[in-house]
Amino acid sequence: MSRTDPLSEAFSQTEYQLVGHDRRLVQTLKEAFKVVKGEQHSDMYGKGKIIEDFQDKMAMYLGKETSVFFPSGTMAQQIALRIWCDEKGLKRVAYHPLCHLEIHEEDGLKELHQIEPVLLADKNSVIQLEDVVNMEEEIACLLLELPQREIGGQLPDYETLEEISSFCREKGIKLHLDGARLFEILPYYKKTAAEVCSLFDSVYVSFYKGIGGIAGAILAGDNDFAEKSKVWKRRHGGDLISLYPYIISADHYFDQRVHKMEKYHEDAKELAELYNQCHTVSTLPQEPVSNMFHVHVDVRKEELESILVDIYKTTGIGLTSYLRDVDECTCSYEVSIGDRYEKVPKAELRKAFQMLDNSLKKH
Amino acid sequence: MSRTDPLSEAFSQTEYQLVGHDRRLVQTLKEAFKVVKGEQHSDMYGKGKIIEDFQDKMAMYLGKETSVFFPSGTMAQQIALRIWCDEKGLKRVAYHPLCHLEIHEEDGLKELHQIEPVLLADKNSVIQLEDVVNMEEEIACLLLELPQREIGGQLPDYETLEEISSFCREKGIKLHLDGARLFEILPYYKKTAAEVCSLFDSVYVSFYKGIGGIAGAILAGDNDFAEKSKVWKRRHGGDLISLYPYIISADHYFDQRVHKMEKYHEDAKELAELYNQCHTVSTLPQEPVSNMFHVHVDVRKEELESILVDIYKTTGIGLTSYLRDVDECTCSYEVSIGDRYEKVPKAELRKAFQMLDNSLKKH
């Protein structure tokens, strides 16, 4: 996404963008701090009103006894799995082959915690009950990521979640929720966060995806789990003297956006439909179940790049800032709906998609 | 330091305080961001102008090839030691018995990295050349903390540092600097940061001690070391999407205070003299070698507490917000000089110390 490539450059110069809330600018922090009084005391190594109030608020929202603020989800989730492994005396967990811990964390789970993962399900599918039931290895914890981001944000049926949860409880397997995008799936499941979280022993949520904060995460569970997680937070170097820059912004944007998730979901469905009407374009999932989906186009990356740059310059609408090669003749990108989408005039939007469809047909 | 105890309560209501820069308030962040434009782009997972510029600036200042910004020193130092241990294929290091890694990190070094420490020197002394030379165990890395915070901020002679550095180089032992308070000791050594750092293979500095930022640390070394540290930063969960709240404030307060370290040192010497003139009071070290020292008073904690509360209420000057038991008839506390000290009117200051001396004599 470097500024030197033409697609990203053209995208940054469009008037309207179809993805995200806004560019990641210092303004995000300034905005959140505008309403905060300078005399407010910093949190101090995990204590103090700023951090405790937010932790209480999120514990309540998630329906868990206690929640602990972390600088990152990477840290929070490794720690959750470590606690459950230690409790069982077994350093083995299970998760999806495209789990964040498996592909984005430089093997921290293995290198720092010596925890061995069992990869469940085909990488193009979400984990189903039979994947869990048929697992041959004994594990301490199963991690489910809802939605499964790397395959477009897919979800299992809610009944499947309930069945997996029951099975795990019966077998003494802890169930951990990678809820980086938990807020975003609640409208589809038509459940509260607490209802979904009640199926899990521990839960992580993030504040810079749909919520649009600066960084930071919450890890929630029972009191004993939370206390242990604080010890591990210190060991990891995450028990900073002051986490308030992230906490205050997380709280601010949570209040501002958590009720907009249904709107983002509706917008995502509308936009996916526009994409699916275009020649050689398909979205994954076809009908989004959250604010996100992946776009697959059966065209070589360089060709789609030049088509998109043309559209951006002609219509002033930016569809994506990057493209990823899937194979020689298909490329893809991720779409996450945020505040920007609703600002795009519908007539202009249709024009851009007409142009995309025409260009792809000519191609 | 809870607000419910009378000493901390009385301290917080004094007009002048002899320690630190200011209370840890949200204002610290607001102040640093006042001059920053909202349109500035966030750093993104360790990349971007904000983080790269500051890393370059600190690498230059410390005289190292590369520097990497970390959310915390706890994270940075464990990682430094891990890199040196991996390089030598030996998971053993040496440090002082009161090293931060030994007493404040919940054994992260052992629990996450399986590194075994050798404790060098008596806990009341700084590490000397003979401690290193006489060490029986083979080690990958020696960590020196300058100044040794938990014993009042003591320092070895500069010649000793040079000798230890030469010895380590000769023996293939990496030398790591815990420079949490490096800026603060430069006036005493009459050296530049780069001169001190040239004796070490890797260096950590902090931005919320003498510099007075919000949080954050720099780890510096050669290019290969820095690249490895970035991989471990990700594993630890410290490679946040945005670290700019800490970077911008670190940079702001670095510029504002790094040239004031000599003044803080002079003030510390003046204040220590005032303490040492009081009955049953002594400072450690007797003459400070940085902006910090410890105060020891041969009085029971509860009695000193009531003496101090009286002084605070009568003179409006706060000496400390807390007391620590050393033994049944001695208590102590730490003094770090910052911006507040110079604001205290000298006549009032002398009055407070007269009152302290009188109260202790009567006692």
Contact B29 A246 (CB under 8 A): no
Contacts of A232 in chain B (CB under 8 A): 106
Q: Among partner residues B24, B36, B71, which is closest to A237 by beta-carbon distance?
A: B71
Per-residue confidence (pLDDT) for residue B363, from 0 to 100: 79
B100-128: average pLDDT: 98
Q: State which of A241, A270, A296 marks the end of a domain.
A: A241
Q: How far is the C-alpha of A198 from the C-alpha of A81, rounded, in Å?
A: 18
- Considering the domain architecture, whether residues B237 and B265 belong to the same structural domain is answered as no
Report the distance separating Cα B352 and Cα A285, nearest Å.
72
Q: Do B50 and B20 lie in a common domain?
A: no
Q: How far is B159 from chain A (nearest CA, A)?
A: 33
Question: Does residue B97 sit in the same domain as residue B162?
Answer: yes
Residue contact A237–B70, C-beta within 8 A: yes
In a domain, B249, yes or no: no
Domain boundary among A212, A241, A270: A241
| B197 and B302 co-located in one domain | no
Phi, psi of A115 (to 5 degrees): -100, 130
Within a domain: residue A104? yes
**B207 and B283 assigned to the same domain:** no
Q: Judge if B277 and B330 occupy the same domain.
A: yes
Residues A251-269 pLDDT 10s: 999 999 999 999 999 999 9
C-alpha distances in Å from residue B233, one per residue of A24, A89, A104, B45: 22, 27, 12, 10
Work out the pLDDT band at A297, boundaries 50, 70, 90.
Answer: very high
Give me the pLDDT at residue B353, please: 98
Q: Is A72–B239 a contact, with Cβ atoms under 8 angstroms apart?
A: yes
In this structure, the answer to whether residues A13 and A140 fall within a common structural domain is no
Mean per-residue pLDDT of chain B: 97
Q: How far apart are CA A136 and CA A44, in angstroms?
A: 45
List the domain range (segments joined by +) for residue A338: 6-24+260-362
Say which residue, A22 or B221, is predicted with more confidence.
B221
Task: Give the pLDDT confidence score for residue A208 in this predicted structure.
Answer: 96
The enclosing domain of A136 has a CATH number of 3.40.640.10
- Tens digit of each residue's pLDDT (9 = 90 or more) over A83-133: 999 999 999 999 999 999 999 999 999 999 999 999 999 999 999 999 999
pLDDT of B2 higher than 60: no
Side chain identity at B291, as an amino acid letter?
N
Q: What is the pLDDT of residue A363?
A: 79
A147-199 tens-digit pLDDT? 999 999 999 999 999 999 999 999 999 999 999 999 999 999 999 999 999 99
pLDDT at B347 (0 to 100): 95
* Position with higher pLDDT, B54 vs B22: B54
- Residue from the list B24, B235, B246 with its beta carbon closest to the beta carbon of A41: B24
What element of type H or E holds B189? helix B182-189
Tell me the residue type at A107.
D
pLDDT over threshold 80, residue B3:
no
**How many Cα atoms within 13 Å fall on the side-chain side of residue B25?**
13
Q: Is residue A95 included in any domain, yes or no?
A: yes
Q: Over 60: is that where the pLDDT of A1 sits?
A: no
Query: pLDDT tens, A223-233?
Result: 999 999 999 99
Q: What are phi and psi of B281, to 5 degrees?
A: -110, 140
Mean pLDDT calculated for residue range A219-241: 98
Question: What is the Cα–Cα distance from A21 to A105, expressed in whole angstroms?
Answer: 25
Structural domain includes residue B171: yes
The predicted pLDDT at position B275 comes to 98
Residue of A24, A25, A37 with shortest CB distance to B26 = A37
Say yes or no: A195 and A264 in one domain.
no
In a domain, B326, yes or no: yes
Whether residue A50 is found in the same domain as residue A113: yes
Instruction: Look at A29 and B23; give whichever has higher pLDDT.
Output: A29
For residue B248, tell me if it sits in a domain: no
Per-residue confidence (pLDDT) for residue A252, from 0 to 100: 98
Please give, rounded to a whole number of angstroms, the shortest distance from the CA of B34 to a CA of chain A: 9
Note whether A334 and A154 are within 8 A (CB). no
Mean pLDDT to the nearest integer, A45-58: 98
Each residue of B238-263: pLDDT tens digit?
999 999 999 999 999 999 999 999 99
Same domain (yes/no): B85, B54: yes
Please provide the DSSP assignment of A175-236 as one string.
Answer: EEEEETTHHHHHHHHT--HHHHHTT-SEEEEESSSTT--SS-EEEEE-HHHHHHHHHHHHHH
* Rounded alpha-carbon distances, angstroms, from residue A36 to A9, A21, A259: 35, 22, 22
Whether residue A36 lies inside any domain: the answer is no
Within 8 A by CB and 6+ apart from A81, the residues are A93, A101, A109, A113, A115, A140, A141, A143, A176
Q: What is the pLDDT, as a whole number, of residue A156?
A: 98
Let me know the angle formed at the C-alpha of A236 by A231 and A239, rounded to the nearest 5 degrees. Answer: 65
* Tens-digit pLDDT profile for residues B137-167: 999 999 999 999 999 999 999 999 999 999 9
Q: Is the pTM of this model over 0.90?
A: yes
Residue that finishes a domain, picked among A178, A210, A241? A241
- Cβ-based contacts under 8 A for chains A and B: 166
A48 shares a domain with A194: yes
How much is the mean pLDDT over chain A?
A: 97
Domains contained in chain A, number: 2
Tell which phi-psi region holds residue A46, choosing left (phi > 0), alpha (psi between -120 and 50) or beta.
Answer: left
Decide if A168 is inside a domain.
Answer: yes
* CATH number for the domain harbouring residue A320: 3.90.1150.10
Q: Do B107 and A235 touch (CB under 8 A)?
A: yes
pLDDT at B84: 98
Residue by residue, DSSP assigns B304-332 as: HHHHHHHHHHHH-EE--S--EEEETTEEE
User: Do A105 and B240 make contact, defined as CB atoms within 8 angstroms?
Assistant: no
Instruction: Point out the residue among A73, A75, A214 whose CB comes nearest to the CB of B245.
Output: A214
Report how far apart, in Å, the C-alpha atoms of A171 and of each of A95, A163, A168, A174, B172 are.
17, 12, 5, 9, 52
Contact list in A for residue B105 (CB cut-off 8 A) is 234-235, 237
Would you place residue A2 in the very low, low, confident or very high pLDDT band (cuts 50, 70, 90)?
Answer: very low
Distance (Å, whole) CA A234 – CA A241: 11
**Residue B108: per-residue pLDDT:** 98
Do A100 and A233 belong together in one domain?
yes
Q: Which two tokens stand for residue A243?
A: 């986490």
Which is higher by pLDDT, B362 or B312? B312
Q: Radius of gyration over alpha carbons of chain B, in Å?
A: 21
A39 and B24 in contact by Cβ < 8 A? no
Q: Spell out the SS3 assignment of B257-285.
A: HHHHHHHHHHHHHHHHHHHHCCCCEEEEC
Q: Which residues contact A146 (CB under 8 A, 6 or more apart)?
A: A155, A161, A177, A178, A179, A181, A182, A185, A196
- What is the CB neighbour count within 10 angstroms for residue A321? 22
